[in-house]
A and B are shown apart, each in its own frame.
Chain A
């Protein structure tokens, strides 16, 4: 059991993608274990979709390697792709087909054995709550149902890795909850990579977060680690005329100090006591130009905003 859960399903090393002179993705690496759900975050244009296109073999990277369950995607593309399910940003739906025909087509294209196609299709439709609309034309379905058809298409062949690019865009809150539930279920026996703008979604669904900004990874940790690391007992200190970092660390009651840019520091305290008051007094006495003293981020949103808007703040 342990071996199975520790099996690495996706491994991407140093992915680089240039479009002409523009570098969309720069040295992004990621690994994913079986049963893990990875949240892929980043502002628009951060390179999430480009990375996902490279992971699914839709786009060749300028540099770097991808392997799916140990199979190199570029040397053995068909074997690797057979283990992948991909829902792109725009679900690739043939509007003129019925839901059932379409999911059947997806199963055939993914080389599901002939005698198990029917059961695979029924299973995928049931999991995505589509059994009742199986005979309807995709073009006549609402956006939410179309999105589910897109997911059904990605899971019908029971892939080891499911890659979903913004699966909950355009859905109503009830549908979002259902899709999230579905994603959590998928996480039980597939590895899932999920890209989204919706941060609570990541917090509620994912095991791990990777934040991209300007094509590079700026954050990569587990959700548990995120909550622990950015939890209480820490403050963000903003100084207009910052001293050397060791001068802050030398103050009484201060534990660890980390620079977060030129003028901001993340400060943790020694022991349980909150030394914010002392810290403020010292900062004022030494005229470091104190302009911010606030509890450190405790939510993913803060981390996200902090990491992706750093330049603008400074």
Chain B
């Protein structure tokens, strides 16, 4: 049932120009960035050879590429997520889902999965770009896999925040602004809060704050290490916002 809703969301996304515009823009920007990084790499290649253990092309080209993807997702996800619930409520189509024999959890998870599958398409297309480098060099597949997984998880985190923002208002644009504000705020404040708390010696609050610092959690992936704490923090963030969404929608049914 979750996949029926997810498939419907994906279908609706691709029937609207928004999905195509977002895919086009992200691909153009990322392709430009990718080529630029390769250009830079060629220029410093001579100096790199002189180093004792020079960083590889994966580190110098692919890692920044994925970091840029993360930033682009920060802008794209609020726009893609805003319609999920807000638009259905404004168009009064939510009634169809609410009167069908579905639990609120199934509805929210279905929408979440639909959006995440779309975002993973962007991630996959990004991950394919570095593969062209195999023509003239070698890739660090371990780092590439870790980067892909990191961005994929990050995208899911953003999607969870986006879907929550979409359920607090019936105005899609307001939802997008809320999601964008929340994500940006989390990136700025989450990192600082968790670092500050840790240096103050408060380990538990620091760990909790780290849940709300998705970009900080992404950093370990970018270094090629699969840190179980980071993965747990990201999964926790997803769960927190999905549960908030489900509870919020249940409350709407109670309050009308």
Contact = CB atoms under 8 A, between A and B. Distances in A.
Contact of B96 (A50, A79, A92): A92
B102 A94 contact: no
Given A92-B92, A93-B93, A19 B101 contact: no
A105 B5 CA distance: 9
A174 interface: no
Interface string A74-89: 0001111110101010
A21 interface: no
Given A94-B12, A96-B16, A111-B1, A106 B96 contact: yes
Given A19-B256, A59-B256, A96-B16, A88 B100 contact: no
Nearest to B256: A59
Given A56-B99, A105-B8, A88 B92 contact: yes
Among B5, B92, B98, the most chain A Cβ lie within 10 Å of the Cβ of: B98
A58 B15 contact: no
Interface in A48-96: 50, 53, 56-60, 77-82, 84, 86, 88, 90, 92-94, 96
Interface in B69-126: 91-103
Contacts of A101: 11
B134 interface: no
B4 interface: yes
B87 to A, nearest CB: 10
Contacts of A106: 96, 100
Q: Helix, strand, loop or mixed for chain B's interface?
A: helix
A213 interface: no
Contact of A57 (B92, B93, B99, B256): B99
B102 A109 contact: yes
Contacts of B253: 57-60
Contacts of A86: 95, 99
A9 interface: no
A60 B251 CA distance: 9
Contacts of B135: none
B254 interface: yes
Contacts of B254: 60
Nearest to A94: B93
Contacts of B92: 88, 90, 92
Among A53, A79, A80, A92, the most chain B Cβ lie within 10 Å of the Cβ of: A92
A19 B1 CA distance: 33
A19 B93 CA distance: 22
Contacts of A109: 1, 4-5, 96-97, 100-102
Contact of B11 (A56, A88, A97): A97
A81 B256 contact: no
Nearest to A89: B92
A94 B95 CA distance: 12
B98 A57 contact: yes
B148 to A, nearest CB: 31
B101 A92 contact: no
Contacts of B11: 96-97, 101
Contacts of B97: 109
Contacts of A82: 101
A57 B95 CA distance: 10
B8 A78 contact: no
A263 to B, nearest CB: 39
Interface in A178-224: none
B256 A92 contact: no
Given A58-B253, A96-B16, A84 B99 contact: yes
A312 to B, nearest CB: 29
B99 A81 contact: yes
A84 B98 CA distance: 12
Contact of A96 (B15, B94, B96, B102): B15
B98 A153 contact: no
A19 B97 CA distance: 23
A286 interface: no
A97 B92 CA distance: 16
Contacts of B98: 56-58
A101 B8 CA distance: 10
Contacts of B95: 58, 86, 88, 90, 92
A90 B8 CA distance: 20
B12 A81 contact: no
Nearest to A110: B100
Nearest to A111: B101
A143 to B, nearest CB: 15
A299 to B, nearest CB: 34
22 contacts: A57-B98, A57-B99, A57-B253, A60-B253, A77-B103, A80-B101, A81-B101, A82-B101, A88-B99, A92-B93, A94-B8, A94-B93, A96-B12, A96-B15, A97-B12, A105-B8, A109-B1, A109-B96, A109-B97, A109-B101, A109-B102, A111-B1
Given A81-B101, A86-B99, A109-B5, 6 more contacts: A81-B99, A82-B101, A88-B92, A92-B92, A92-B93, A111-B1
Q: List 5 tightest A-B contacts by C-beta distance, closest first.
A: A92-B96, A96-B15, A109-B100, A82-B101, A78-B101
